[in-house]
């Protein structure tokens, strides 16, 4: 027996402009999140993108083809109701930021990391007044508590929609600094992905491609690019 699948039941998806936010309607009825909250988003651009995803459905509804809708649902149903917990989760990346943990050898990889990552740490120092400590190897290094508190403050000042985007920008790169750099326009998302993959790229150059690993990396990169787009939509 085949599994039941929801099918398109509406003729038109439209944007509903409110006084301070935007919604999406299906034949005049407000779109709701999985938790039954009315889906209201911070920008017309985001609402238009969501409406376009619903209008593009043909026959069976395919949630995997509606990434903006999924991210908006997550912002409303998950991030907004667990805001402080999400902020704490993401702020913890500052204490173990990828950019701070360098290879001990070979020299070429050490130099490659320094050339690529030092500039981002210097940018964070200028932008946020924080100077994260760099170490070699995997032994944890303590970061300045005041610096970490300032970085947490940046996250805490964001909207649930922005924080939903930051979740993937940070977790997929393993770096709070890279996530902030994309959000603040210091880096394009594709470049941030490449910078987060220096070690993997090095191994690939040495030992060749791994098709399974490459396929997984491609999916993660796609998710990162979407997160950057969702950040932009949240601020359009």
Residue 43 lies in a domain: no
- Nearest CA among 100, 105, 163 for reference residue 135: 100
How far apart are the C-alpha atoms of 99 and 81, rounded to whole Å? Answer: 31
Residue 63 lies in a domain: no
Predicted confidence (pLDDT) per residue in 164-180, tens digit = 999 999 999 999 999 99
List all residues 6 or more positions away from 15 whose beta carbon is below 8 Å from its beta carbon: 22, 23, 24, 25, 44, 47, 48, 51
CATH number at residue 136: 1.10.3580.10
How far apart are the C-alpha atoms of 17 and 111, rounded to whole Å? Answer: 52
| Domain carrying residue 109 | 82-234
Tell me how crowded residue 113 is: count the other CB atoms within 10 A of its CB.
Answer: 21
> What pTM was estimated for this model as a whole?
0.94
Residue 74 lies in a domain: no
Domain count, the chain: 1
Long-range contacts of range 170-176, CB-CB < 8 Å, 24 or more positions apart?
170/90, 170/93, 171/90, 171/93, 172/196, 172/220, 172/223, 172/224, 172/227, 173/98, 173/224, 174/93, 174/97, 174/98, 175/93, 175/97, 175/98, 175/99, 176/90, 176/91, 176/93, 176/94, 176/97, 176/151
Residue count of the chain, please give it.
Answer: 236
Residue 50 lies in a domain: no
Predicted confidence (pLDDT) per residue in 30-85, tens digit = 999 999 999 999 999 999 999 999 999 998 999 999 999 999 999 999 999 999 99
How far apart are the C-alpha atoms of 186 and 178, rounded to whole Å? Answer: 9
- In the predicted structure, residue 209 carries a pLDDT above the cut 90: no
How far apart are the C-alpha atoms of 100 and 117, rounded to whole Å? Answer: 8
Residue 92 lies in a domain: yes
């Amino acid at each position: 027996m085949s599994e039941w699948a929801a099918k398109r039941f509406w003729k038109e998806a439209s944007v509903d402009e409110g006084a301070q936010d935007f919604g999406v309607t299906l034949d005049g009825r407000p779109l709701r999140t999985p938790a039954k909250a009315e889906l209201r988003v911070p920008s017309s651009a985001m609402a238009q993108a969501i409406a376009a995803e619903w209008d593009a459905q043909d026959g069976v509804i395919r949630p995997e083809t509606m990434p903006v809708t999924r991210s908006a649902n997550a912002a409303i149903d998950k991030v907004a109701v667990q805001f402080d917990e999400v902020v704490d989760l993401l702020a913890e990346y500052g204490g173990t930021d990828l950019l701070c943990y360098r290879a001990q050898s070979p020299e070429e990889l050490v130099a490659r990391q320094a050339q690529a990552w030092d500039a981002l740490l210097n940018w964070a120092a200028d932008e946020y007044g924080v100077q994260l400590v760099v170490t070699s190897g995997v032994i944890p290094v303590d970061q300045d508590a005041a610096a970490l508190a300032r970085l947490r403050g940046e996250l805490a000042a964001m909207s649930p929609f922005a924080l939903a985007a930051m979740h993937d920008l940070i977790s997929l790169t393993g770096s709070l600094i890279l996530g902030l750099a994309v959000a603040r326009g210091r880096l394009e998302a594709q470049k941030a992905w490449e910078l987060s993959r220096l070690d993997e790229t090095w191994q690939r150059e040495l030992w060749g491609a791994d098709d399974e690993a490459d396929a997984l990396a491609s999916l993660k990169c796609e998710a990162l690019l979407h997160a950057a787009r969702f950040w932009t939509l949240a601020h359009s």
